[in-house]
Amino acid sequence: MLLLIFKIFTPVLGLLFQEQSQGRMALVWEKAQHPDLSKFLIIGALLFIIGVAGVLTRRNIIVIFMSIELILNAANLNFIAMSRYLQETGNMNAVAGQIFAVFVIVVAAAEAAIGLGIVIALYRNKETIWVDEIDILKW
């Protein structure tokens, strides 16, 4: 398992510390101007996995909410990265991903409001926000 983590993260670290030997700030800027798509995708995937793991493992419903936000933001990151990548490759009209990200943020805000409302209602009835104590789906 450790070996696997090492094998996965080593390239990531490698990416970060690859160009250290060259003119550092210029390179960073250069990188910032022309980001590498795969790095964004990897970060998005990591975010998604963290979110999923949170949803599946955490017992506090608030934390689960936060994990869901993570998942949504992972999706946003992918949208924006793809949009930017497409613009880099010359298609200046590829703004749909950015617009989608805005939509997702709005929907997530609404969802958070409703979800928190549900949590409050739940708490009023059950006096708990631990999901393993809420098993009324099984009747």
Buried b (16+ CB within 10 A) or exposed e, 78-102: bbbbbbbbbeeeeeeebeebbebbe
Interface residue with other proteins, options 52, 66, 94, 122 (CB under 8 A): 52
* x/- letters, 53..92, toward other proteins (CB under 8 A): --xxx-----------------------------------
CB 70 to other proteins: min, Å: 14
Q: With binding defined as CB under 8 A, does residue 3 bind other proteins?
A: no
| Euclidean distance between CA atoms 62 and 84, whole angstroms | 33
Residue 21 CA from chain centroid, whole number: 31
Q: Using the minimum distance from each CB to other proteins, give the nearer residue, 45 or 96.
A: 45
Q: With binding defined as CB under 8 A, does residue 134 bind other proteins?
A: yes
| Euclidean distance between CA atoms 78 and 112, whole angstroms | 21
